[in-house]
Amino acid sequence: MTSPFDLSSLTARQVRDGFIAGEFSAREVAESAFVRIEALDGEVHAFLQLTPELAFDAADRVDTARACGEQLPPLAGVPAGIKDNMNLIGTRTTCASRILAEYESVYDCTAVRRLLDAGALPVGKCNMDEFAFGSSTENSAYGPTHNPWDLERVPGGSSGGSAACVAAGMASISLGSDTGGSIRQPGALTGTVGLKPTYGRVSRYGVVAFGSSLDQIGPFGKTVDDVALVLEAIAGADAMDATSSREPVEPYTGALGRGAQGLRVGVVRDMLETEGCGEEIRRVVDSAAETFAALGAEVGDVDLPNAAHGLAAYYIIGPAEASSNLARFDGIRYGYRAADADDVLDLYMRSRADGFGPETIRRVMLGTYALSAGYYDAYYGQAQKARTRIIEDFRAAFEHFDVLLTPTTPEVAFRFGEKVDDPYTMYLNDYYTIPVNLAGNCAVSVPSGLCSTTGMPMGLQIIGDYFAESTLLRAAAAFEEATCFEPVPPLVRRLTGDRGGE
């Protein structure tokens, strides 16, 4: 198989527009994607399962529709990766866990189905931290994903495979899930745009639950426009998910060209002094504030005084919900089942001990303890009170500002093994993103340049009010256009000879 063009140089919109204009067929796009995957994924390991039959079937459908003169869907011919905690008939959904190694999807995740109905080509299921428990994709039972910017460094997590496949040009877009930062954090570490919509904006039906009050599906893309296109396709109410919102889906791409003039932009100063935040990361926010001011925005400082308690609250609430959600994986109904068990209790214990990895076991135990008699009020109850205070802080901030600015992460991508034996420093990677999940707001990470000492990408987090994705994406697009940062990982430059981004 040969590639008719370099997919990595095209955004999702460029792929779609080129296909509609007849510059290439959807089948050629799919072929190009798999050529790149064959060339790069041996080093990156972004995918757990490739789905060429599904991709080429989808390509043939939109090629036929174009030949017949039919109206083409908004993502026609765009190759997409799908995080492996989302069900899609014809694929395994393993959650990167041994316990679900052979589980085959028997129904479709609503967001995935909407993505494919919009004309996207599903090229594969993406690697992740097991059950989305992690910030580095080192917790996958099938080996880690490598960052295309430096193969010795992590891509972030838990949606590391979804971020890496877009960064490396193996797919134009992808879907991830974000419980405490699992879209925005890997977006920042791989130089991609990662969007966490408002809780309820996108149906969670068909995604294997981690924290049911925290999880949200969202897109990765090369540009803000890419993620806006995907959000238009996947957002909206779903009868299969009672927590999905009936708020109207706006034409998010229509807001992107309005600039930042008149926007009220708040810089969250108190969060910049967190432990472990590098000086260059702090300057990302100061530089962004200057950029927005130059674009005509009203820029001021704001504090979120209770956000500092977000990390502690999250690591009680998240594991508690995970403990409940993962109780179904017992070796009886489906999934891995231990052999030679003495009785049903022994079967449960052996199946879960053998099937779950260390981080999954750690979080289940933490959550079970927090929910246990005698400790519920002291831990889970107090964490929920802290969550309420964080919600109130955001509510007060958005009375004065349209969007808020923080770093996405306190540091750039770290090397493999640096934090695996120190859960606390690992968990600190989500310090800036976790409060948004606790409150349920929308937020996006946008590339903001390369670190001068490591050459690794850095990300700016822009936070919006509930269901204010149009305003959020408007601000992100204005920043993106003003900074003109188009990151190209060394792995991609090596393959294509492109020196962009240097």
Q: What is the pLDDT of residue 488?
A: 86
Task: Please indicate, yes or no, if residue 347 is contained in any of the structural domains.
Answer: no
Whether residue 28 has pLDDT greater than 90: yes
Radius of gyration from C-alpha coordinates of the chain: 21
Query: Mean per-residue pLDDT for 75-94?
Result: 98
Catalytic residue among 97, 158, 177, 351: 158
Active site residue 470: no
State the Cα torsion 299-301-303-307 to the nearest 10°. 60
| 95 vs 277: which has the higher pLDDT | 95
* Range with lowest mean pLDDT among 113-117, 272-276, 313-317: 272-276
Going by pLDDT thresholds of 50, 70 and 90, the confidence category of residue 500 is very low
Catalytic residue among 182, 203, 244, 351: 182
Kind plus residue range of the DSSP H or E element containing 294: helix 279-294
Whether residue 502 has pLDDT greater than 50: no
Domain count, the chain: 1
Catalytic residue among 25, 83, 177, 196: 83
Task: Please indicate, yes or no, if residue 233 is contained in any of the structural domains.
Answer: yes
Whether residue 501 has pLDDT greater than 60: no
Going by pLDDT thresholds of 50, 70 and 90, the confidence category of residue 497 is low
| DSSP one-letter code for 343 | S
Q: Report the CATH number that the domain containing residue 246 is assigned in CATH.
A: 3.90.1300.10
pLDDT tens per residue, range 418-469: 998 888 889 999 999 999 999 999 999 999 999 999 999 999 999 999 999 9
Whether residue 2 has pLDDT greater than 80: no
How far is the C-alpha of 91 from the C-alpha of 187, rounded, in Å?
Answer: 25
Q: Where are the alpha helices (DSSP H) in 3-137?
A: 12-20, 26-44, 52-67, 110-117
Task: Please indicate, yes or no, if residue 472 is contained in any of the structural domains.
Answer: yes
Task: Please indicate, yes or no, if residue 372 is contained in any of the structural domains.
Answer: no
Active site residue 385: no
Task: Please indicate, yes or no, if residue 350 is contained in any of the structural domains.
Answer: no
Whether residue 499 has pLDDT greater than 50: no
Give how far Cα 453 sits from Cα of 149, 367, 398, 446, 457, Å. Answer: 14, 39, 35, 20, 11
Task: Please indicate, yes or no, if residue 369 is contained in any of the structural domains.
Answer: no
Q: Are strands 403-407 and 121-126 parallel, antiparallel or unpaired?
A: unpaired
To the nearest whole percent, how much of the chain has pLDDT over 90? 88
Q: Are strands 442-450 and 193-196 parallel, antiparallel or unpaired?
A: antiparallel
Could you give the maximum distance between any two Cα atoms of the chain, in Å? 71
Active site residue 324: no
Whether residue 319 has pLDDT greater than 90: yes
Task: Please indicate, yes or no, if residue 96 is contained in any of the structural domains.
Answer: yes
Kind plus residue range of the DSSP H or E element containing 300: strand 298-302
pLDDT tens per residue, range 136-192: 999 999 999 999 999 999 999 999 999 999 999 999 999 999 999 999 999 999 999
Tokens encoding 344: 């049903």
Task: Please indicate, yes or no, if residue 260 is contained in any of the structural domains.
Answer: no
* Closest to 217 (Cα-Cα) out of 360, 109, 311, 346: 109
* Domain boundaries, position 471: 7-252+265-306+391-496
